[in-house]
Structure 1
Amino acid sequence: MSTPEDKPNRVVELKQRQGALSGSGDRLGELLKLVRGIALKRVNGLVSTLFENVDDALFHLAERAESNAVQVQFFDGMREVRKKRQLVERVFQEQLSKIFSDFAEGNLKPVRPEVANPSSGGLSLVDDQELEDSLAISSMVSKAENRLSRTLHLVNQRLGVIVGGTTVEDASNPIGPAPLCQAFRNAVREFELNVQVKLIIYKLFDRYVMSGLEPLYDEVNAELIRAGVLPQIRHQLP
């Protein structure tokens, strides 16, 4: 049975625990900022490399075009990318920042590629282009998630600790393939591009960005292990 003398001690103990939790929360917030900094630096660098290669890719395709009309589409695409590249990169960065902000606030709603809804009269040209968009993005996401399943799983587990023990899945991980692809898709909408040219840009995103995610995940895992976040699961398979 507790005595009146026990109560002050319990109050002190409770305050100490609350202070420790507060400090822990600050620490976890700093770790999320660390992950955000690593991700933005690496992903923005990969996207920059992508755009540095768009011009050559489209020019090469224009040279091999089967008709003047198709060739013009590629040349128009080159001009559009040159004109709006900085805007698209900025929008992409804003999208990534928003994803991290939502994640930090506990909004872990899974992000999956949007799928176009056919109009009541069947697929319109716009619906058809959106469907091609969705299929291209879905394919990239599936391929990356399968290829990176192990390292991505470890990132998910450690990010879950950072946000207070909540389960983090591939689609709710702010640096998961699905959120990154959807962020890029939203940014690319700033371009006025023929669907064929847009699909070429998606292929380059797959080649230069999705294929470069493993070093990002490895760095995030290494930094969080160094910070003491679940060091024991470094070899654990999903």
Structure 2
Amino acid sequence: MRTLLGNVLERTSEEMERTLVAVLDEFEQQLFRHAEQARSNSVQVRWLEAQRLVKRTRPDLVPRFLVALEAELACIRDTPGSRTSTGGFRLSHTELALVENLDLDEATVMTEIAGRTEVRNSLPLYLLGQRFGVLAGRPAFDAENLPVGPQALCRMLRQASDCLQLQTEHRLLMFRIFDRHLVPLYGPYVEAVNSMLSRNGVLPNLHYVPVRARPTGQGAALPRSARG
């Protein structure tokens, strides 16, 4: 298990490091573009200051993200409720009443990003959750608790991005850029991780079988099922 998780960590780290560097490069360009288009000197100064902050602090972002990723993978045998979700964005109704509006803006954006990515990759995420359950010796992981799922990646980015010391409007811009980069990356990535685990004997025969609808009068269509 340790070797396989090490392989997952290596693959994920490579993909996310490239992605985050590209996100930061585009982010700096966007900050400068916003400054050029600013309608007042004060607004222009604000965007240029954000760009300067990113140039100075960006070397810390990727290492912080990778540390969080390694921690997520190291804790897969912990029960979901026992882990502290620092920087998380899934909030209960009680918690929603206690956080500031700016935090809610970030939470909403991150929820949207993760939700879109999950919908586009629901099948491979389901299969990966089954395989991570085997690795952890516990029931299958749902998308919310999958250590390399979209929600986890968004939590890690939100937490790691604190090092940039940016205002919320600038953080939201960066998260939107991350969204654009994550969508084309994530599908091939999750398929590759599934294939790697399958080749190494983790539910090698697991596949998703669409069950055909019964003829009219014989009952409703059965849901899709996984077989291994």
* Structure 2: gaps spanning 5 or more residues: 210-223
* Alignment partner of 1:226 is 2:202: no
* Alignment partner of 1:150 is 2:117: no
Q: 1:149: how far off?
A: 0.8
Identity %: 25
CA contact (8 A) 1:141 1:177 kept: yes
1-side partners of 2:122 and 2:70: how far apart? Answer: 24
Structure 1 residues 75-154: aligned runs within 5 Å = 75-103=48-76, 105-109=77-81, 113-115=89-91, 117-118=96-97, 127-154=100-127
Listed one character per residue, the Cα deviations across residues 150-187 of structure 1 (whole Å, up to 9, x for unaligned) are 11111111111111242211111110011110111011
SS at match of 1:231: coil
* Alignment partner of 1:57 is 2:57: no
* Alignment partner of 1:39 is 2:12: yes
Structure index of larger Rg: 1
Structure 1 residues 190-229: aligned runs within 5 Å = 190-229=163-202
Q: Does the C-alpha gap of structure 1 residues 86 and 107 become closer, same or farther in structure 2, counting only changes over 3 Å?
A: farther
Task: Normalising by structure 1, report the TM-score.
Answer: 0.78
1-side partners of 2:165 and 2:97: how far apart? Answer: 22
2-side partners of 1:57 and 1:142: how far apart? Answer: 25
CA contact (8 A) 2:131 2:140 kept: no
SS at match of 2:132: helix
* Alignment partner of 1:171 is 2:144: yes
Paired amino acid for 2:156: A
Aligned residue-pair number: 204
Q: 1:212: how far off?
A: 1.4
CA contact (8 A) 2:57 2:164 kept: yes
Q: Which has the higher contact order (CA 8 A, sep 6+)?
A: 1
Q: Does the C-alpha gap of structure 1 residues 108 and 40 become closer, same or farther in structure 2, counting only changes over 3 Å?
A: farther
2-side partners of 1:192 and 1:81: how far apart? Answer: 8
2-side partners of 1:63 and 1:43: how far apart? Answer: 30
CA contact (8 A) 1:113 1:182 kept: yes
Over aligned residue pairs, what C-alpha RMSD do you find?
A: 2.1
Task: Normalising by structure 2, report the TM-score.
Answer: 0.81
